[in-house]
Amino acid sequence: MRSYSLIAPAKINLYLEIIGDRSDGYHELAMILQSIDLADQIDIHPASTETIRVHCNHPQVPTDNSNLAYRAAALMATKFADAFRNFGGIDITIKKRIPVAAGLAGGSTNAAAVLVGIDLLWNLGLTFAELEELGATLGSDVPFCISGGTAIATGRGEQLSPLPSLDHIHIVLAKYRSLEVSTPWAYNTYRQEFGGTYIRDTANLADRANAVHSGEIVKAIVNKNTVEIAQKLHNDLEKVVLPAYPQVLHLRELFATQPGVLGTMMSGSGPSVFAIVESAEQAEIVKLKIREAIPDQDLELFVTRTITHGIKIAP
């Protein structure tokens, strides 16, 4: 039986609005998600026994059943028990490039790659829609990571509406290796501080979520206007994360002062911060300037760009 190597891209948020509470305990969100070419590689091999094993080159990534990639394989083994018995176990090797605990959907995109890889390995013939439905049971970002590109995400983030894909935007991304921000903490703190502004009526929640479809940033995306996109970046979670994490705030402020930076924002619940820049050449210059300003080797810096796809087979 053949093996598969898959490219699993990270994602950033171009827009994140918290609208209100949902009956399931999550937040009702309106987001614009974007794939970038900073990616992990996931190698999937058949195993001789009915076991699931995860290997990773990054010491912070767990390899037990707490790993989302492991849980994705276990989900497939449960849902397609006959195929699991027929084809045997799975060996998963994660070659990590996406920073860990960065707000870039690193775990989610790994899980998405495992779903796609096992579908191929076991000849299941699942559609992207079917894979996304499975992925939604693992985490809100997994469905987007499967298809990737550019999309509006509503609900808790799993309801996707594709937008015209962006493949021309250059980005510099920064993240302190040792710094983590708890996503539940970020959302719970936002609820504590701003819950009084939440929309309570279910119909109004839906109307507010749908309003992003006609928003100014969507128009800029449709027109592929990089300057407008950069000017319309928005993330509600910055209101609670930036005051609590001065390193993240400093990164954002530093990016904003660099020539050639069109806009900057924290991605998701952080602590990654990205800047949209004018060109690939300018991105390298901005990366150098940030490194000169912050020589701390705990700070990881990446030059990347937007891409039009999610999980794909490695060339």
5 is in an annotated binding site: no
SS3 263: strand
Query: Cα–Cα distance between 1 and 21 in angstroms, integer?
Result: 47
Comparing C-alpha atoms, which of 19, 11, 14 is closest to residue 210?
19
Helix axes 106-121, 68-79, angle to 10 degrees: 30
215 labelled ligand-binding? no
* One-letter identity of residue 1: M
Is 8 labelled as part of a ligand binding site? no
- 19 CB-side CA count, 13 A: 24
Find out whether 39 is annotated in a ligand binding site.
no
> Binding site annotation covers 100?
yes
Does the annotation place 68 within a ligand binding site? no
Residue 304 one-letter amino acid: T
The reply to whether 102 sits in an annotated binding site is yes
**CB neighbourhood size of 39 (10 A):** 24
* Residue 146 and residue 255 in contact, taking contact as beta carbons nearer than 8 Å: no
Tokens of 260: 């050639």
Computed on alpha carbons and rounded to an integer, the radius of gyration of the chain in Å comes to 19
Tokens of 76: 């497939």
237 annotated binding-site participant: no
Residue 270, annotated as binding a ligand: no
**What is the CB neighbour count within 10 angstroms for residue 2?**
8
Asked if residue 246 has a cis previous peptide bond (ω within 30° of 0), the answer is no
What does each C-alpha distance from 158 to 112, 145, 235 come to in angstroms?
13, 10, 18
Ligand-binding annotation for 195, yes or no, is: no
- 44 within 8 A of 114, measured Cβ to Cβ: yes
Is residue 175 helix, strand or coil?
strand
Q: What is the DSSP string of 286-304?
A: HHHHHHHH---TTEEEEEE
Backbone angles phi, psi at 291, to 5 degrees: -65, -40
- Ligand-binding annotation for 241, yes or no, is no
Q: Which residues are catalytic?
A: 11, 141
Are 147 and 132 in contact by the 8 Å Cβ rule? The answer is yes
Residues at the binding site for ATP are 99-109
Binding-site residue positions? 99-109
